[in-house]
Amino acid sequence: MRTRAFALSLLLLAQTFCPLLQQSSALAQDLGPAASAATEDSDGFLQSATHARRPARDYASRVEALVRQMTLEEKVGQMTQLEIGMVSTGGDQTIQIDPAKLERAVVKYGVGSILNVNGQALTADRWQEIIRQIQEAAQRTRLRIPVLYGIDSIHGANYVQGTTLYPQETGMAATWNPELMRRLGEVTALETRAAGIPWTFSPVLDIGRQPLWPRFYETFGEDPYLAKVMGAAFVRGVEGEDVSSNSHVAVSLKHYLGYSFPLSGRDRTSAWIPENYLREYFLPTFAEAVRAGAHTVMVNSAEINGTPGHVNHHVLTDILRGELGFRGFVVSDWEDIKKLVTQWKVAANERDATRMAVMAGIDMSMVPSDYSFADILVQLVKEGAVPQSRVDEAVRRILLVKFELGLFDNAMPDASLKSRIGLPASRQLSLQAARESMTLLKNDDNLLPLDKNRKVLVTGPTADSLVALNNGWTYVWQGSEESLYPKDRLTIRRAVEERVGASNVTYVPGTRLVRPSGSPSNGTPTLTDEEVDIAAAARAARDADVVVLCLGEGSYAETPGNITDLTLGEPQLKLAEAIEATGKPVVLVLVEGRPRVINRIADGARAILMAYNPSNEGGQAVADVLFGDFNPGGRLPFTYPRSVNNLFNYDRKTFEDADTSFGNLATRPQFEFGQGLSYTTFAYSDLRTGQPTMRANGEMPVSVTLTNTGRRAGQESVILYVRDLVASLSPPGKRVRRFAKVYLEPGQSRTITFRLRGEDLSFVGADNRPAIEPGDFEVLVGGLTAKFTLQ
């Protein structure tokens, strides 16, 4: 065991940087010579994400002046968030503001925030009218404090009709392109603000290390470094240099903390996470986003180690405020203070639950369907059970965010912004993201790209579905209302037909995904597999030159997406086996939000393309890759399991691998984290460290040369891993510490230089403090290894 040299602060641990990736909009459809060749060193992107922000104006005196004028009831009103049904009648497209309800909520109770849709996405015109009426009511209050409206803009402004949607977070992570994420964040912000809404409940910064979890597709994958870079990019894009501008909105980092690692894999269930593991893997994304200036945080709906997130003072106050320095406000998730009584059983009644949550650090309660929180909290303060000072603290935070958003200057929607929704340039950016996310996992005998004169069978339940391409949080909560999807976007089937001609394409669905009757809130699976015409699909395969077999999942969000088995549905597996039995070459296209186990059929497919949930431009992106109009360069942001009882991550211990004496074949995943093929080839050479030794307060340059040895231009994500050879806690096999996305013409070479710092070699010890220990380390890039010593 080595002697610990010293401990670093958690904030320093968050300050590792990733290179600024080239701007994807400059890329031609086939990565032509117009593409940017620039690759910055590893300090670029995260540093720019922090320092590009305009210095915040000092609103402290205005906030204090307002707080001094407020009654207790007005203060508690600001801490109250209600859903839109509390101020409206009707639903879906018939929703309208109810003047009496609005008067009660905003004028009588002084509610500080309203959220959500009542069923379906609305037009920008309808949204602006709703927001205008709400803010007009706020102007009738004594102090004229504007209402802060919030909504879930998850992969674009998905509750506003006609907006630009793009791949879900796992797909964006597969691009390894934070600059592209930043630019799409800008689009999200503009199109959300165009509806009159200044606050989004995104990004999801939970780490995707439990593939059963139904919100897996909402994460940036399993690696904290990749996820924190992409998360910071999103925050920078959405909030911009000046969050008060009419093209930016405030984010809400969610779901703080540890929500994504339930022991059962089921949503909103218990997690058991040692604190050092929590800090090592689950905290860095939030730390980096806070450092980038995020304004609000939403809380974990579940519990960690027996303590529900909404009463976890250590996490909400000691760490978030004391260690990370967060200065915005904390909002609960849906009904989660009530659930402290009804579900988690840590409070005997809602009165106790309210006191516990507020004292733990909750500033605003997403109540959201009654006035219980406001009534109870007023009484608690009057009785002395909650100090007036704690309420004042929460209200100061809420008011500060409203000032920084510019709502006190002008809370009314800007009608001129409506013309900037769904611009062709924004749609092109979404298409580029979908293309860059495409991850080619297998391509035996270079089956892909396909010739455009071949007879193609397109089959499978995700082949002709925009719903599957998008998943949840698309026009409705579950993403399931097909009538709301744009009519001019191509499914995979339609894109293939457009590419090679309808006369060269046969479509037979084979199976379908069926939505059971009843509300998705009943906890049943959102979709089940059902056989349709497997025999007909097999017959059609015999007459085709190649089969494009589109399998995966339909749409789901949160608890209705719970499953008990990661195995792909039996009807889909039977379809694949029947097609493969014909002997025709099969291209398997996976459209799914989490990695469904396919070991029965993977070997029989000649090519496998992981499409994730690429959104409305995804059909075209898939076809672009299949027929060679775009050279794929996506890399898996998670480990794809081979079997349901063999779930692990890429940073597993070295002895767990199959090529060691303790390993076995079962520990080999179906596909490794970071895996992804191209239609060209790349060679790595000359991996070097700048010197043989490094001090903990110094830097270690690491350089590697990349050469495009193929015949096509292409992009390669260069991933640098670090391996600690001996540590006082058993070290991971390797960890991502830098990456860069590099574009090269055929025959072109480039040397990429990264710089490692002491914090890149640290880990969180058993005392929950980051530590750096001297000893030997390895860097691994592209199959090459170099070694150096930390003194």
Smallest Cα–Cα separation from 248: which of 206, 204, 294, 209?
294
What is the spatial distance between Cα 115 and Cα 365, in angstroms, rounded to a whole number? 12
Residue 326: is it exposed, middle or buried by C-beta count within 10 angstroms (0-12/13-18/19+)?
Answer: buried
Decide if 333 is catalytic.
yes
Q: How many residues does the chain have?
A: 791
List all residues 6 or more positions away from 634 whose beta carbon is below 8 Å from its beta carbon.
174, 175, 176, 436, 437, 438, 439, 440, 610, 676
Catalytic residue, from 206, 333, 529, 724: name it: 333
Smallest Cα–Cα separation from 168: which of 536, 437, 392, 375?
437
The answer to whether 735 and 675 have CB atoms below 8 angstroms apart is no
Smallest Cα–Cα separation from 132: which of 412, 467, 434, 544?
412
Specify the DSSP class assigned to residue 153: -
List all residues 6 or more positions away from 446 whose beta carbon is below 8 Å from its beta carbon.
none
Residue 453: is it exposed, middle or buried by C-beta count within 10 angstroms (0-12/13-18/19+)?
Answer: exposed
The answer to whether 401 and 394 have CB atoms below 8 angstroms apart is no
The answer to whether 132 and 93 have CB atoms below 8 angstroms apart is no
Smallest Cα–Cα separation from 619: which of 495, 507, 502?
495
List all residues 6 or more positions away from 572 whose beta carbon is below 8 Å from its beta carbon.
460, 461, 511, 529, 551
301's tokens: 């709906």
For residue 641, give Cα distances in angstroms to 2, 594, 595, 667. Answer: 35, 10, 7, 9
Amino acid 181 reads M
For residue 685, give Cα distances in angstroms to 40, 276, 744, 751, 783. Answer: 19, 37, 15, 9, 9
The answer to whether 469 and 65 have CB atoms below 8 angstroms apart is no
What is the spatial distance between Cα 159 and Cα 117, in angstroms, rounded to a whole number? 7
Q: Which residue has the tokens 């590419």?
A: 499
Return the H-helix or E-strand segment holding 311: none
For residue 672, give Cα distances in angstroms to 441, 461, 638, 657. Answer: 9, 26, 7, 12
List all residues 6 or more positions away from 433 whose beta carbon is below 8 Å from its beta carbon.
24, 166, 167, 171, 172, 175, 177, 180, 184, 614, 617
Instruction: Kindly report the number of other CB atoms within 10 A of residue 54's CB atom.
Output: 12
Specify the DSSP class assigned to residue 755: E
Smallest Cα–Cα separation from 614: which of 83, 171, 82, 63?
171
- Which pairing describes strands 749-757 and 763-764: parallel, antiparallel, or unpaired? unpaired
Residues involved in catalysis:
333
